[in-house]
Amino acid sequence: MPFSISLTVNGVSRNVELDDPRVTLLDLLRERLDLPGTKKGCDRGQCGACTVLVDGRRVNSCLALALSHDGAEITTIEGVAQGDELHPVQAAFIAHDAFQCGFCTPGQIMSAIGLINEGQAGDDPERIREAMSGNLCRCAAYVGIVDAVIEAQKRLADAGRREAA
């Protein structure tokens, strides 16, 4: 018996039929919705390559059942840029060379966006490292990642102040 769920993915409402209630959010995004930016790494929730935002919160999509997110708003790496304009976190990752092989970069960026949105980033590198500890980079781009998070947070705060004025 198929299960029907409704999701908003990157601002687009999607109705999806699931034949199996055990389909993960990661597999739904990659295999059914053709959003390959979210990576399948360890498939155990340890590496963070599959990080997406669910209702604004960071989630390891490999551990999340799609069925349990009926009605949720999902944001993947494909949904963070505004047309040709990169999200400030994406731009900061480029500016600080915060990626090497690039495999984990989408999950790192999504985790950084969630971290900033949660108000947990601050400008303390150790605090950022701890808050991003669920996202592993085997290429050792950590210094660039922390610097990128600090820069992006400042850019977003400055933009928010300009908008409020």
The answer to whether the predicted template modeling score (pTM) of the entire model surpasses 0.85 is: yes
pLDDT string in tens for the chain (165-residue length):
789 999 999 999 999 999 999 999 999 999 999 999 999 988 888 889 999 999 999 999 999 999 999 999 999 999 999 999 999 999 998 998 887 777 888 999 999 999 989 887 778 888 888 888 877 777 766 778 888 888 988 888 887 778 887
Show Cβ contacts of residue 139 under 8 Å, excluding neighbours closer than 6 positions.
99, 100, 101, 104
Task: Specify whether the CB–CB gap between 77 and 109 falls below 8 A.
Answer: yes
Which CATH code for domain 3-79? 3.10.20.30
Annotated domain spans of the chain: 3-79, 88-164
Which CATH code for domain 88-164? 1.10.150.120
